[in-house]
C-alpha cells in the first residue's frame, strides 16, 4: 500500500491514531521503533533542529520538503508533514505539494495563516480569507492525486472566534480536504463542537504540552470524535531536557554519567547498523557473474 493509503486506513479505523512529532530522521526512527503507526513531521521541531530557531516562519519550503524526504526514507510508517502556509499563494502551493509528493510522505498539512506564520499556540497570528485558503486546498488536491492526503488547518479560532473556525472547517471539508484540523480550541466543549459540526471528514487534534488546548489522551480524543492526534513537541521536549541534564553533568563533572544515557550499542540498534553490515557482507560474498 502507498503511504497515503496506509494513512487513510488508519483514519478509518476505530479509535484515535497517535502520531508523535519527529524533528529529524533520527527522531522519526525512534517513533517507528516505539511501535507507533504514524509520524508527524513538526514545523516547530524542524525549525528548532534545523535552524536552532523558533517556529515563526523561518523555514523555507525546500528545507521542509528535504526534511520530509529524509524522515519518510528513514521509516516505514506514514508521515504527515507540516508545510506551514504552503509558502505562498495557490501557485506556490502547487509547487510545494509536488515537492512533498516526491518526498514520499503520506500527507501534506497546509494552514490558513498569513505569512510569516507562527506556531499555532503562540499569540499574534493572522489568517488569510477563507476563499483564498479554499483556492489553496484546490491547488494542493490537484497535484496530490492519489499519492498524498491533504490536511488543512485553520488558525482562525484565536482571532475570529469559534464560529468562524467551524465555518472554515466545513468549507475546507467541502473544498476536498482529506483531514480537517481546527487549531487551538480552548476547552473540551469547543473540541466537542468541532467534532459535532465538521462532520463527514476525519478530524485532527493537536496536543501540545503547555499549549492552549486541553491536553487529553487518545482514548478521550476518540470518544470526542477525533480520528488522529499529533503530539508535535513531545519528543523534542523530552530530548531537550535529557540533553540539558547530560550536558550539565558533563560540564560539572568533566564526564557524562553513562547510566543515564543510551549506550554505544543502543545507538547502533536505532540506526539499524546490523542490517547495513549484513547487506554489505552479502554483497561481498556474492559470486561474480
Alpha-carbon distance of 93 to 101, in angstroms, equals 12
SS3 152: strand
Tell me what pLDDT residue 289 has.
Answer: 58
Domains in the chain: ranges and CATH: 3-239 (3.20.20.60)
Alpha-carbon distance of 227 to 215, in angstroms, equals 16
Tell me what pLDDT residue 123 has.
Answer: 80
Tell me what pLDDT residue 117 has.
Answer: 84
Phi-psi region of 221 (alpha: psi -120 to 50; beta: other; left: phi over 0): alpha
φ, ψ (nearest 5 deg) of residue 148: -150, 130
What long-range pairs does 42-46 form, CB within 8 A, spacing at least 24? 42/82, 42/230, 42/232, 42/233, 42/236, 43/82, 43/84, 43/119, 44/119, 44/232, 44/233, 44/236, 45/21, 45/232, 45/233, 45/235, 45/236, 46/82
Tell me what pLDDT residue 281 has.
Answer: 74
Tell me what pLDDT residue 288 has.
Answer: 61
On whether the CB atoms of residues 221 and 202 are closer than 8 A, the answer is no
pLDDT per position in the chain (289 positions), as tens?
A: 899 999 999 999 999 999 999 999 999 999 999 999 999 999 999 999 999 999 998 999 999 999 999 999 999 999 999 999 999 999 999 999 999 999 999 999 999 998 878 787 878 789 999 999 999 999 999 999 999 999 999 999 999 999 999 999 999 999 999 999 999 999 999 999 999 999 999 999 999 999 999 999 999 999 999 999 999 999 999 999 999 999 999 999 999 999 999 999 999 999 999 999 998 777 667 666 5
C-alpha cell at 77: 510508517
SS3 182: strand
pTM, two decimals, is 0.94
Tell me what pLDDT residue 284 has.
Answer: 66
Tell me what pLDDT residue 138 has.
Answer: 98
Amino acid at each position: 500500500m502507498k503511504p497515503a493509503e496506509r494513512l487513510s486506513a488508519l483514519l478509518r479505523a476505530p479509535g484515535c491514531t497517535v502520531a508523535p512529532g519527529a524533528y529529524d530522521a533520527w527522531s522519526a526512527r525512534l517513533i517507528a521503533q516505539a511501535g507507533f503507526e504514524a509520524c508527524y513531521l513538526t514545523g516547530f521541531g524542524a525549525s528548532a533542529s534545523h535552524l536552532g530557531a523558533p517556529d515563526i516562519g523561518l523555514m523555507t519550503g525546500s528545507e521542509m520538503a528535504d526534511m520530509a524526504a529524509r524522515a519518510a526514507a528513514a521509516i516505514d510508517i506514514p508521515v504527515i508533514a507540516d508545510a506551514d502556509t504552503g509558502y505562498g499563494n495557490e501557485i506556490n502551493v502547487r509547487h510545494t505539494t509536488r515537492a512533498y509528493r516526491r518526498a514520499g510522505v503520506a500527507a501534506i498539512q497546509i494552514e490558513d495563516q498569513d505569512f510569516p506564520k507562527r506556531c499555532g499556540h503562540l499569540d499574534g497570528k493572522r489568517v488569510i480569507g477563507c476563499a483564498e485558503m479554499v483556492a489553496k486546498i484546490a491547488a494542493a488536491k490537484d497535484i496530490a492525486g492519489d499519492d498524498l492526503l491533504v490536511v488543512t488547518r485553520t488558525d482562525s479560532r484565536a482571532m475570529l472566534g469559534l464560529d468562524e473556525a467551524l465555518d472554515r472547517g466545513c468549507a475546507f471539508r467541502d473544498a476536498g480536504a482529506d483531514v480537517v484540523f481546527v487549531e487551538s480550541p480552548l476547552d473540551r466543549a469547543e473540541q466537542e463542537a468541532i467534532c459535532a459540526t465538521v462532520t463527514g471528514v476525519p478530524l485532527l487534534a493537536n496536543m501540545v504540552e503547555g499549549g492552549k488546548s486541553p491536553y487529553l489522551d487518545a482514548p478521550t480524543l476518540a470518544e470526542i470524535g477525533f480520528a488522529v492526534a499529533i503530539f508535535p513537541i513531545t519528543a523534542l521536549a523530552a530530548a531537550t531536557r535529557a540533553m540539558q541534564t547530560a550536558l550539565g553533568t558533563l560540564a560539572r563533572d568533566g564526564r557524562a554519567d553513562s547510566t543515564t544515557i543510551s549506550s554505544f550499542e543502543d545507538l547502533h540498534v536505532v540506526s539499524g547498523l546490523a542490517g547495513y553490515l549484513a547487506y554489505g557482507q552479502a554483497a561481498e560474498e556474492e559470486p561474480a557473474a
